[in-house]
Amino acid sequence: MPDPLFILLIALVLDWYFGEPEILWSRLPHPVVLFGKAVSCVDKRLNRKGDDREAQYKKGALAISLLIFGALLVSWFIEGLIGFLESLGFILEVFIVFVLLAQKSLADHVEKVAAGLKEEGLAGGRKAVGMIVGRDPGRLDKSGVSRAAIESLAENFSDGVVAPAFWYAIFGLPGIIIYKMINTADSMIAYRNEKYLWFGRVAAQIDDLANWVPARISAVLIASGAGMLNGMSAFKNSLIVALRDSGLHRSPNAGWPEAAMAGGADLALGGPRIYPEEVVQQAYLNGSGRRDIEAADIKVAIQIFALACFALWFFTSFLAVIF
């Protein structure tokens, strides 16, 4: 089999140009949908309303353990199938990595927010951003919609692109499949509400660990994208803001790519966030940056994101040659 880094590079390029093939996923369930069904299954069976905190915590730990073990078994089965298929196995592995990355789909979803603001005003922007963020879009103004879209772009660059690529490069198919299972579980059962606060705690902790290194790599890549777009000063400011302000975010990881994007685009991101169940008070990342954010700024952020993706390609190619 070819080097995993070579497979990763091909998958990254394919994902950038083709994204989510709607024809395929209109007929077959996407792997992440299957991960979601597995998470829902253990949630329904183990998460009982009458359990106390300790029971919820233990059952949540059991749930994420079962999900990880199941993902490991699936990845081993696929690896065996790939080995059996020989040369066709290469194509299958490229395809699996390709569908578990999210460069084009992420850029397309964020682009729709900019288009919604431009074509339909605030209502169009709210509708589009409601598809990609968990906060209450009906209470966002124009700057809030734009800010939410840019933050989602930066955070999901780490979760949806860099982290899957990182874990595939380290551990092959088991790495990327287990990571996607962990990340899916985090997005479904790691809420800070009565039902999931304790049940989803271990899933959230494991997700934090899985994203620790990729989040910091993402910040460097975003800074590189900002530098390619706006020069060395943007690169330096992006890194400075990431190092200085990342800790202001309530997440130990999301603050890194978001702060890097804030510094690279010279915008103030973060700040108070309104969710359906709570209002999160948070300091601004790059507080001295511009706070009046609009659709044009989303376009700039997408350009930085695109160049950050290309930087990831270059870095992957470099490692493939070295190793």
Contact 301, 150 (CB under 8 A): yes
Name the least confident of 15-24, 32-41, 290-299, 310-319.
15-24
Long-range contacts (CB closer than 8 Å, 24 or more residues apart) made by 253-256: 253/158, 253/208, 253/211, 253/212, 253/214, 253/215, 254/155, 254/158, 254/215, 255/285, 256/158, 256/215, 256/216, 256/218, 256/219
Name the least confident of 15-29, 166-180, 246-260.
15-29
Range of the domain at 234: 4-322
| Reported confidence tier of residue 1, pLDDT bands at 50, 70, 90 | low
What is the pLDDT, as a whole number, of residue 136? 82
What percent of the chain has a predicted confidence (pLDDT) above 90?
87
Q: What is the mean pLDDT of residues 65-84?
A: 97
Q: What is the 3 state secondary structure string of 98-159? A: HHCCCHHHHHHHHHHHHHHHHHHHHHHHHHHHCCCCCCCHHHCCHHHHHHHHHHHHHHHHHH
**Number of domains observed in the structure of the chain:** 1
Per-residue pLDDT tens digits for 234-290: 999 999 999 999 999 999 999 999 999 999 999 999 998 776 666 777 899 999 999
What is the pLDDT, as a whole number, of residue 276? 64
What is the pLDDT, as a whole number, of residue 274? 72
Per-residue pLDDT tens digits for 96-132: 999 999 999 999 999 999 999 999 999 999 999 999 9
- Is the pLDDT assigned to residue 51 strictly greater than 70? yes
270: which strand partners? 284
What is the pLDDT, as a whole number, of residue 193? 87
273: which strand partners? 280
Question: What angle (nearest 5°) sits at the alpha carbon of residue 134, between those of residues 240 and 307?
Answer: 40
Contact 163, 102 (CB under 8 A): no
Q: What is the mean pLDDT of residues 27-42?
A: 95
Per-chain mean pLDDT for the chain: 95
Contact 217, 201 (CB under 8 A): no
- Is the pLDDT assigned to residue 86 strictly greater than 90? no
- Is the pLDDT assigned to residue 4 strictly greater than 60? yes
pTM flag (> 0.85): yes
